[in-house]
Amino acid sequence: DVKVTQSSRYLVKRTGEKVFLECVQDMDHENMFWYRQDPGLGLRLIYFSYDVKMKEKGDIPEGYSVSREKKERFSLILESASTNQTSMYLCASSLLGQGALSLHFGNGTRLTVT
Partner 1 sequence: GQQLNQSPQSMFIQEGEDVSMNCTSSSIFNTWLWYKQDPGEGPVLLIALYKAGELTSNGRLTAQFGITRKDSFLNISASIPSDVGIYFCAGEEGGSEKLVFGKGTKLTVNP
Q: Given candidates 42, 62, 69, 84, which one binds partner 1 under the rule CB under 8 A?
A: 42
Q: Identify any residues that bridge with 77 across adjacent strands, giving them in sequence order.
A: 20, 65
* Least separation in angstroms between CB 15 and partner 1: 26
Q: Is residue 108 part of the contact set for partner 1 (CB under 8 A)? A: yes
Q: With H, G, I as helix, E, B as strand and everything else as coil, classify residue 48.
A: strand
Burial class of residue 44 in the structure, from the number of CB atoms within 10 Å of its CB (0-12 exposed, 13-18 middle, 19+ buried): middle
CA distances (Å), origin 113, targets 4, 23, 24, 41 = 24, 20, 23, 19
* Least separation in angstroms between CB 86 and partner 1: 17
Q: Is residue 76 part of the contact set for partner 1 (CB under 8 A)? A: no
Q: Is residue 34 part of the contact set for partner 1 (CB under 8 A)? A: no
Residues 6+ away with beta carbon under 8 Å from 91: 4, 6, 21, 23, 25, 32, 33, 34, 35, 74, 76, 105, 106
Q: Is residue 106 part of the contact set for partner 1 (CB under 8 A)? A: yes
User: With CB under 8 A as the contact rule, which of the stretches 12-20, 62-70, 72-80, 87-95 interacts with partner 1?
Assistant: 87-95
Q: Is residue 8 part of the contact set for partner 1 (CB under 8 A)? A: no
Instruction: Using CB under 8 A, list all residues that contact partner 1.
Output: 4, 31, 33, 35, 40-45, 48, 50, 58-60, 90, 92, 94, 96-97, 99-101, 103-108
